[in-house]
Amino acid sequence: MIVWVVSETEIKDEPVPWAWIEKFIQAKGATFPVFRDLSFYNVYANIASYSTSLPHHYLLDAKTMERIAAAGGSNDPEFLQAVCDQLGVECPD
């Protein structure tokens, strides 16, 4: 399952407006659950940071919640391959 958690702030330390999230979902055609968690920093502080690049991507085992793979930034081919492996599908070229 893919889940996107929008954390507490964007630029200027203001909460990400729900209207912005809805616009993003519509523009990208996202079909996965999207949550806004204004206190996500409490959880995030306990996740070993993988990278300083944004966005952060974590692939977790659904049963154990252990990290299978992580990536910082976008377009990480190793992370994409780990996701494809978990889904049992071929990755796009």
Helix or strand run (H / E) with residue 36: strand 34-36
Q: In angstroms, rounded to a whole number, what is the distance separating the alpha carbons of residues 84 and 20?
A: 29
One domain, residues 70 and 91: yes
Give the pLDDT of residue 90. 92
One domain, residues 42 and 67: no
One domain, residues 32 and 8: yes
Query: What pLDDT digit, counting tens, does each position of 18-59 carry?
Result: 888 888 888 888 888 887 777 766 666 666 666 777 677 888
6-26 average pLDDT score: 73
Give the pLDDT of residue 75. 79
3-state secondary structure of 35: strand
* Total domains present in the chain: 2
